[in-house]
A and B are shown apart, each in its own frame.
Chain A
Amino acid sequence: EPEVTQTPSHQVTQMGQEVILRCVPISNHLYFYWYRQILGQKVEFLVSFYNNEISEKSEIFDDQFSVERPDGSNFTLKIRSTKLEDSAMYFCASSEAGTEQFFGPGTRLTVL
Chain B
Amino acid sequence: RKEVEQDPGPFNVPEGATVAFNCTYSNSASQSFFWYRQDCRKEPKLLMSVYSSGNEDGRFTAQLNRASQYISLLIRDSKLSDSATYLCVVTPDNNAGNMLTFGGGTRLMVKP
Q: Which residues of A contact B (CB under 8 A)?
A: 31, 33, 35, 41-45, 48, 50, 55-56, 58, 89, 91, 93, 95, 97-106
Contacts and interface: CB of A to CB of B under 8 A. Distances in A.
A44 B102 contact: yes
Contacts of B101: 45
Max count, chain B CB within 10 A of own CB: residue among A35, A50, A101, A104: A101
A104 B43 contact: yes
A35 B91 CA distance: 14
Contacts, number: 58
A61 to B, nearest CB: 11
Contacts of A95: 97
A55 B97 contact: yes
Main secondary structure of the interface of A (DSSP, over half): strand
A101 B95 CA distance: 14
Contacts of B103: 42
A107 to B, nearest CB: 11
B46 interface: yes
B44 A58 contact: no
Contact of A100 (B43, B46, B97, B104): B46
Contacts of A35: 100
29 contacts: A31-B97, A33-B99, A33-B100, A35-B100, A42-B87, A42-B103, A42-B105, A43-B102, A44-B102, A45-B99, A48-B98, A48-B99, A50-B97, A55-B97, A56-B97, A56-B98, A56-B99, A58-B99, A93-B100, A95-B97, A98-B96, A98-B97, A98-B98, A100-B34, A100-B46, A103-B43, A103-B44, A104-B43, A105-B43
